[in-house]
Amino acid sequence: MSHISIWGELATVDHELRHVDVGGVRTRVLQAGRGPDLVLLHGTGGHLEAYARNIGGLARDFRVTAYDMVGHGWSDTPDRPYTIDVLSDHLLGLLDALGIDRAHLSGESLGGWVVAWSAAHHPDRVDRLVLNTPGNIANKPEVMARMRDSTMAAVRDPSDETVRRRVEFLFHHKEMVTDELVNLRRAVYSRPGFVQAITNTLVLQDPAVRKDFAWDPAWVGRITAPTLLLWTGHDPTGGLDEAEMLLGWLPDARLHVITDAGHWPQWEQVGEYLLAHHDFLVHGKDPA
Higher pLDDT, 117 or 286: 117
Q: How far is CA 216 from the centre of its chain?
A: 19
Dist. CA 210–CA 137, nearest whole Å: 12
**pLDDT at residue 179 in the model:** 97
Entry pTM: 0.97
**pLDDT at residue 285 in the model:** 85
Arithmetic mean of pLDDT, 229-244: 94
* End-to-end CA separation in angstroms for the chain: 23
Higher pLDDT, 139 or 258: 258
For the cut 70, the answer to whether the pLDDT of residue 70 exceeds it is yes
Higher pLDDT, 139 or 100: 100
Among 41-50, 215-224, 278-287, the least confident range: 278-287
Q: Provide the CATH number for the domain formed by 6-282 in this structure.
A: 3.40.50.1820
Arithmetic mean of pLDDT, 218-236: 97
Give residue-wise pLDDT tens across range 106-134. Answer: 999 999 999 999 999 999 999 999 999 99
Give residue-wise pLDDT tens across range 130-188. Answer: 999 998 898 888 988 888 999 999 999 999 999 999 999 999 999 999 999 999 999 99
**pLDDT at residue 211 in the model:** 93
For the cut 80, the answer to whether the pLDDT of residue 1 exceeds it is no
For the cut 90, the answer to whether the pLDDT of residue 77 exceeds it is yes
